Structure 1
Amino acid sequence: MAGGGGAVFTPSSLPGLSVAGMGLTGLLWWVVAVAAVMTGISEADRLNRPRLDVAAEVQLCSLPAHHQAEHTHQAVLDPDGVFTVLWTPDLNKQEVVWEIHARTLGWLGFGFSSNGGMTGGDMITAWVKDGRLFLQDRHGVGELTPPLDDHADWRPLHAHENDTHTVLVVARDINTCDPHDYVLTNDTVRLLYAWGDSDPSDEHPSYHGPHRGNKFAYVLMPFYQEMVPEDAQVWRVSQSVTVPHTQNTFYWCHVEKIPKWQKKHHYLGFSLKYGRNARSNLHHVVAFECHTQDGTDASRTLEQYVGHPGYECYTPNMPEHLYQCNRFFILWAIGSEGEILPERVGIPMGDQHGGSTYLMFETHYDNYMLKKGVTVDWAMDIYYTDKLRQEEAANLALGHSLIFSLTVPPRTPFWRAVGHCASECTALAIPSQGVNIFTVFLHGHYLARAIRVRHFRGNVELPPLMEDLNYATHFQQSHVLSEEVKLMPGDHISVECDYDSRNRDNATFTGWGTRDEMCEAFLYHYPRLELATCRSSPHPETLKDVFRLKSFPEDMNWDAYIFNPEVGDGRRYQEAVNSLPWDTLDRQLINKKVTYGDHLIKCQYNYGISMRPSTNVTRYPKATPYVPPEDKTCAHVHKSAANSVRSNGRPSTP
């Protein structure tokens, strides 16, 4: 790891503790608190943890010994590798231990924010000077110097300087019950960082200048590990494409064939290797399994495309045979670090072994500035093994169908879209013992602010499979579930996406472009289902009603990728929607009709054949809504104060 020592910090045993200004009573309480951190702690003890002054001075030689053999999470926050943070959440103790390594002998700042801004941020500033640690608990208010909190909620465990770095180890409760503090949840969070080149001359650090920023992270959830399994072999796929200067979004599809093996292999994961312009112009790389509809040998139709540089996706130039490739296999998008499957799970590779011999790679490039001569290089290391895992997995695509009806009006602060995986589909596709969900991948574009995957069984809503109320399209890392969730036949799943279009003067529609929108979730599951896609879109009668449309073509294929159909009066859909007097319409009523009305079902097997459920129409089930269990963490806090704590709790759903 980066930082002072080149490895995860494990300080030698240090003597007892003495905090300047605490006095003997405070000192004794602090020693008890530190011991509790190391050995586990009761709720009563947690609530009675002593607090340091908000601007504490701690003698370095008297901090308790800190033994953290390794951390579960790690991130380099800045592009130059100056600021590295490691952390370990402990849900039993309801705390997170943070270890910060900054290449500075001055001050450092670290904290959290939902949007990367200072307003609403929760942070500390710290520095080491003259054998003491200076630790300050602060909160963000606009662009002003963050003021000190009323009381401190970060507990120092260790600090030191060497010739190049400042190292700080601190612990903090997941929910401090402080109205100025950020409540850590499973949502996307921005880790804030800043540093100065010199120690402050008074209690306030000097202006950081350009030494600041933020990085996306999941704080509490299991983390993607870069450690590749020892038995893994590597298959590298690479691409170099010069993107057109006439298109701000460009999709390129090409076919790869897996290595030739004598025996069965399992896919284990991947990592992406950034080449020229990849960090600025590469939006996503998705690999699809390719299967023939009649189960015949895929080589007869797909072998001819192996070695070909590729085609622009979903255009007349793309060969029809490539539309056989529509089961999601590998998902990489902006912000992802890669993917390693759980130790006992693998995905079969090769037609003869229940997987796919041919993969189509769909690569999405952006060129917002329409620059000429932009070439993008990337490579993907795909990890596989012949030591077969216990369980064989697959990916199930959910959400709103990729069709024009996902429509977000202009200048609208809140708009919800939904796509259903109907109970009629899962009843046909899922075996009686059910399947196990272990990872969820969420996908939306720039207007998306929150995505949740709701789970219904009969007339009861279960806890959500996943939700991210701070969703950001620049951070699309898979969500590894802390505990697997069982999906049973007859379950209904609804993917909801909340959008904010206040900065758009025209409506936004479904489409391939980054400025278009999508609403998707992908469930990694085992045992492997034949069901590959389970989606829906608003019923055409609803669309005609709310958007004042005359008609749709009678022969229109509602399962196809159609983004701007004719609507019967000489106009196309997007023109008709943009011509509506949106400022005078009841958008809330329109949104309610589109979201909670009837939807057309789209359920497909992994070779593109539609299922035939008992009905082709679905909607939200009539079910008792899920109510999260009461969080009693702050029960000791006066109700008005507890209500003011900045939380990322699940919003009410109409």
Structure 2
Amino acid sequence: MMWTCFIYRVFVSFIILKRSNSLSSPIQPFTEYKHSTELQVNISDLWWTIDDAEREIVFELHVKTTGWIALGISAAGGMAGADIGVGWIDQMGTVQFQDRYAYNRSRPVIDYTTTDWFAVQGREQDGWTAIQFRRLLETCDSMDVPIKSGTNILIYAYGLVDPDANGEISYHESRRGSRILPLRYYIDQLPETEYADLDSFELRINHSVPVADTTYYCRVFKTQITYPTKRHVIAHKILLDSDSREFVHHMNIYECDPSAQFDNTNLPDGVCDDIRDQISLCSSTVVTVWSVGGDEIMTYPEEAGYPIGGDFTVNYYMIELHYDNPHLISNRRDTTGVRFYLGDKLREHDIGYLTFGTDSTAQALAIPAGADRFIVDSYCPASASLNIPKSGITVFCALPHTHLQGKPVVRIKLGDEFATRCIYDTRNKNLTTRGGGRTKDEMCIHGFVYYPRMNNLSMCLTHNDWSAWKRFLNVSVENFDETALQEILVKIKWTPQLVAQWQSFYDSTARGVTYGQSPFIIAETFAALPKYQDLEPERCSRACHTQISISSILIVLLARKAKRMFL
């Protein structure tokens, strides 16, 4: 899960001039770049520029080591299928570079098909290594991953020593990380020092990391903001604890419904499922989200801000944290949270959040094992967007979310329809994958940050109709529910024929759609979803190989009279 931020063109020159100078490397970059980001504080920095005329990207990677350093493009977020450039400065001061490919989570192999990563120059200084290198955006090499116009997943790692005499690299151990970046349209974030003189407030948890494989932890906060007139949050910073950030998979921050009432001396705090009844009014309206690989600072457009105080009646907020602790490590304290910065002047618009896609339940998502391309579509009808003002709303950030795109701003208008498509590859699984919040579960949602804020539409989600499930599974149980469905799913032995039948069911089954904003939720049922014409995938212009992402999300905004097709 990550933010992909859109921005008006008029902001571009401002952002380039004000790009962050807070990078930690002591080495001056070899040249000027359009974009830069700190991959890991005081450890690794990255600069890059895309040359569309040459269809080439130039990177510069700085890492605090005198050993080898590596940057890779990952198809799905992990090592498997990643295209990796590895470099180091040898004993003679000469830069060495390798094009490697990772078949799995073992050591990446040299790519002998073609060499597509090329070093330009490099040096060592003050215990850091800096290497400038380039690669074509599309190489048409089956052992490479294309750099597309949407979101790109970068992985990075480094060793403490140079490769051996045979050019083999040592194991990186924990010296690795990942970032999710729209390389073509990245909006460089301002350093936090830009907000040092502004008022701010924080929401932070303070408890021990649960000793469990996967935990969803929730805590409700009483707002301490009592401004008599409305003010606007203009930026926020995700606060990650250095001792526990390795366990934090993602964080959601929600508004509680204005009607929510709590004992302020004993606010809900614990495993989300254990306190679900207490927090039921705190999980529908999102304030912001963060996940591994996302930017930790987010700056809002100059014309919009998140409302606080005055007649804005939200009194409580909730943090939902997803912890991953597969090795069951104990005795780690966590103080993860968020800091909000308030501007000195009120802006023109309030910011809101919309969620489209499927419910995160087995009823909505039951993905068969052994499928190389299982498609789940969802639909939000034009009736939902009748809640949108006549002037429309402006989307400036997007959050596509599955578990394992900045372009210019998008205008959504009254009567538009929405469709989301998620494509899953489960060839590495033997059991059914169900919808849910755990990492081993799946999701298919797409969130938008937009303005001006609406108070009658925050979500539009799709699920399979229960009666359709009963007919498909030939079940006669009267009260067929989520528990009964899961009991069936865990027993299924998947075959190619059954996978095909399951896909046919998803392609044609009746769907329920719910939309609105709590407590006013509207439900509709559709005998089947509208059919869409897929656009032809972009073909490689240099060879016969076309790389396809293992997992992708496609979304389309459809005008009422427009031709329906997926983008």
Do they fold alike, i.e. is TM over 0.5? Answer: yes
Are the aligned partners of 2:23 and 2:38 in contact in 1 as well (CA < 8 Å)? Answer: no
* CA–CA separation in structure 1 for the residues paired with 2:383 and 2:476: 31
Q: State whether structure 2 residue 342 is matched by structure 1 residue 384.
A: yes
Q: What CA distance in whole angstroms lies between the structure 2 residues aligned with 1:548 and 1:390?
A: 55
Residue 610 of structure 1 corresponds to which residue in structure 2?
521
CA distance in 1, matches of 2:118, 2:496: 50
Partner amino acid for 1:542? A
State whether structure 2 residue 449 is matched by structure 1 residue 524: yes
Post-superposition offset of 1:441 = 1.1
If the length of structure 2 is used for normalisation, what is the TM-score? 0.78
Matching of residue 337 in structure 1 with residue 337 in structure 2? no
1:301-450 to 2 correspondences below 5 Å: 302=261, 304-306=262-264, 308-312=266-270, 317=275, 323=281, 326-350=284-308, 352-354=310-312, 356-366=314-324, 368=326, 375-405=333-363, 406-426=365-385, 428-445=386-403
1:552 CA displacement: 4.7
Aligned with residue 217 of structure 1, among 154, 168, 180:
180
1:205 and 2:163 matched? no
Aligned to 1:591: 503
TM-superposed deviation, 1:521: 1.5
What is the match of residue 423 of structure 2?
498
Higher relative contact order (CA 8 A, sep 6+): 2
Instruction: Indicate how the Cα distance of structure 1 residues 381 and 552 shifts in structure 2: closer, same or farther if over 3 A, else same.
Output: farther
Question: Are 2:555 and 1:643 equivalent residues in the alignment?
Answer: no
In structure 2, what is the equivalent of residue 537 of structure 1?
463
SS in 2 for 1:160: strand
Q: Indicate if the aligned counterparts of 1:108 and 1:127 stay in contact, CA closer than 8 A.
A: no
**2:26 is matched with which residue?**
5
Q: Which residue of 1 aligns with 2:201?
A: 235
1:191 is aligned to 2:155: yes
1:525 deviates by 1.4
Alignment-derived partner of residue 19 in structure 2 = none
- CA 1:646–1:539 in 2, change beyond 3 Å: closer, same or farther? closer
Q: Aligned residue pairs: how many?
A: 523
CA displacement, residues 587-620 of structure 1 (integer Å, 9 cap, x when unaligned): 2122221244221110122x321137xx532643
Cα deviation digits, residues 529-558 of structure 1 (max 9, x gap)? 2301111111223211222222453xx9xx
Give 2:411's aligned residue. 486
The alpha-carbon deviation at position 242 of structure 1 amounts to 4.0
Structure 1 counterpart of 2:110, from 134, 137, 146:
146
What amino acid sits opposite 1:140 in the alignment?
Answer: Y
Q: Which amino acid aligns with 2:37?
A: Q
- Secondary structure at the aligned position of 2:335 is classed as strand
Q: 5 Å matches for 1:544-559?
A: 544-553=470-479
Bigger mean CA offset, 139-148 vs 543-552 = 139-148
What's the CA shift string for 1:440-482, capped at 9, x where partnerless?
112233xxxxxxxxxxxxxxxxxxxxxxxxxx3xxxxxx6x23
Aligned to 1:160: 123
Structure 1 residue 239 displacement after superposition = 1.2
Distance 1:371 1:107 in 2: 29
CA gap of 1:209–1:536, structure 2 versus 1, over 3 A, is: closer
- In the alignment, the residues of structure 2 paired with residue 249 and residue 130 of structure 1 have an alpha-carbon distance, to the nearest angstrom, of 50
In the TM superposition, residue 2 of structure 1 has moved relative to its aligned partner by 5.7
Q: Which runs of 5+ in 1 are unaligned?
A: 11-65, 293-297, 446-471, 473-478, 557-561, 565-571
Post-superposition Cα deviations, 1:111-166, rounded to whole Å, max 9, x if no partner, equal 434354376624253536646x444452437557515564566362x433335333
Deviation at 1:3, TM superposition (A): 6.3
Q: CA deviation at 1:438?
A: 1.5
Q: How does 1:570-589 map to 2 (within 5 A)?
A: 572-583=484-495, 586-589=498-501
SS of residue in 2 equivalent to 1:610: strand
- Whether 1:253 aligns to 2:219 is yes
Contact 2:268 2:279 in 1 (8 A): no
**1:582 and 1:119 mapped to 2: Cα distance?**
25
- Structure 2 residues not aligned, in runs of 5+: 1-21, 555-564
Shift of residue 289, structure 1, vs aligned partner: 1.9
Contact 2:248/2:323, CA 8 A, preserved across alignment: yes
Contact kept in structure 2, 1:239 and 1:377, CA below 8 Å = yes
Determine if contact 1:256/1:358 at 8 Å carries over to the other structure. Answer: yes
Larger Rg: 1
Q: Deviations over 1:263-316 (max 9, x none)?
A: 321123322223375324434332222334xxxxx5xx53x4445342446667
Residue aligned with 2:504, SS: helix
What TM-score, normalized by structure 1, do the two folds share?
A: 0.69
Equivalent position to 1:84, from 18, 31, 45: 45
SS at match of 1:515: coil
Give secondary structure in 2 for the equivalent of 1:99.
Answer: strand
Which amino acid in structure 1 is aligned with residue 412 of structure 2? L
8 A contact 1:255–1:308 mirrored in 2: no
AA paired with 1:488?
A: K
Residue 317 (structure 1) shift: 5.0
Paired with 1:444 and 1:325, the residues of 2 have a C-alpha distance of: 19
* 1:222 partner SS: coil
Equivalent pair of 2:55/2:136 in contact (CA under 8 Å): yes
Structure 1 residues 379 and 106: CA distance shift in structure 2, 3 A? closer
Question: Aligned with 1:576: secondary structure?
Answer: helix
Percent of aligned pairs sharing the same letter: 18
Separation in 1 of the partners of 2:230 and 2:394? Answer: 23
Q: What are the within-5 Å matches in structure 2 for residues 130-141 of structure 1?
A: 130=92, 133-136=94-97, 138-140=99-101
User: CA–CA distance in 2 between the matches of 1:324 and 1:444?
Assistant: 22
1:58: which partner in 2? none
